[in-house]
Amino acid sequence: MGKEINSIPDIIISRLPVYYQYLKRLQDSTKEYISSEELAELTGFSSSLIRKDLSYFGTFGRKSYGYDVFCLFQQLSIIMGFNYKKKIIIIGAGHLGQALAYNKGYRERGYQLISIFDKNPKLIGLVINDIEIRSINNLEEFMENNKINVAALTVPGGAAQKITDRLVAAGIKAIWDFTEVPLQVPDDVLLEEQLINEGLCKLSVKMNQIRINNSESAEDLNCEQK
C-alpha cells in the first residue's frame, strides 16, 4: 500500500508531472510496456530514481516486462488527483489572469474554472473564454454559494495579502499564487507559488554560464572594499 500524500517529499511530487507528460505521449503509440531504463532516457532521471519515486505509491511493473504504459498513466492520474473535480477561480483579470483563463489544461487535470474577479469597472461584465468577470466586491457571496477548491491570484503585489486574507476568511484551502510577494496563510491552507521572475533569473544564470564558458576570458567578479 502506498504512503499518504503528506509523507511524500515535494521533490518527488515535482517529478510526477514529468512522468505523466511522457506517459501521455505514449498513449497514442503501440508501446504496451516501458522499462525504468527507457523512462530514464525520456525524462533524464536515473532509472533507480524513477523506481524509487514510483515505489512511494505502491508496486508497479512486471518483472521482465516493465511498466504497463496505459495502467501507469491511469495510476498517475489518480495519484495526482486528476480523477476528481476541483473548482477554481481567478482573482485578477489583467493580462496574466486572462491568459490563465484560456488555459486548456484545466479539464484534463480535473479543474473547472467557474469565475474570474476584478475591481476594474471596465473589466467587470466582460466575458473571457465563456466566463464572465465579476466584481471583487461579490467574492465572499460567490464563495458562500459555491464550493471553491482553488483560487488563482494574479493581482498586484500591494493587494495580494489583503485578497489572500479575504479568501482564507471565506474558506479557501488552496491558493495558486502568481504575485511573487511573500504571503502569509494558515497552516491548513496550501500555497503554491509560481515564481515567474525566479524562472527568468535561473535561465539568465544558466545562459550567462554558457556565455562565459564559450568566451575567451571570464569577467572579473572580484568586489573590492573601498
- For 79-121, write each residue's pLDDT tens digit: 999 999 999 999 999 999 999 999 999 999 999 999 999 999 9
95 is in an annotated binding site: yes
- For 170-214, write each residue's pLDDT tens digit: 999 999 999 989 999 999 999 999 988 888 898 898 888 888 888
Question: Is residue 57's pLDDT more than 90?
Answer: no
195 is in an annotated binding site: no
Select the more confidently predicted residue: 62 or 78.
78
94 is in an annotated binding site: yes
- Whole domain around residue 155: which residue ranges? 86-197
Count of the separate structural domains present in the chain: 2
The answer to whether 88 and 150 have CB atoms below 8 angstroms apart is yes
The CATH number that applies at residue 148 is 3.40.50.720
Are residues 70 and 157 both part of a single domain? no
Distance CA 3, CA 91 (A): 34
Among residues 192, 142, 187, which one has the least CA distance to residue 167? 142
170 is in an annotated binding site: no
Distance CA 91, CA 133 (A): 10
Model's pTM, two decimal places? Answer: 0.85
Are residues 124 and 50 both part of a single domain? no
Among residues 162, 185, 191, which one has the least CA distance to residue 92? 162
153 is in an annotated binding site: no
Are residues 102 and 130 both part of a single domain? yes
- For 20-44, write each residue's pLDDT tens digit: 999 999 998 999 999 999 999 999 9
204 found inside a domain? no
99 is in an annotated binding site: no
Taking the alpha carbons at both ends of the chain, their separation in whole angstroms is 63
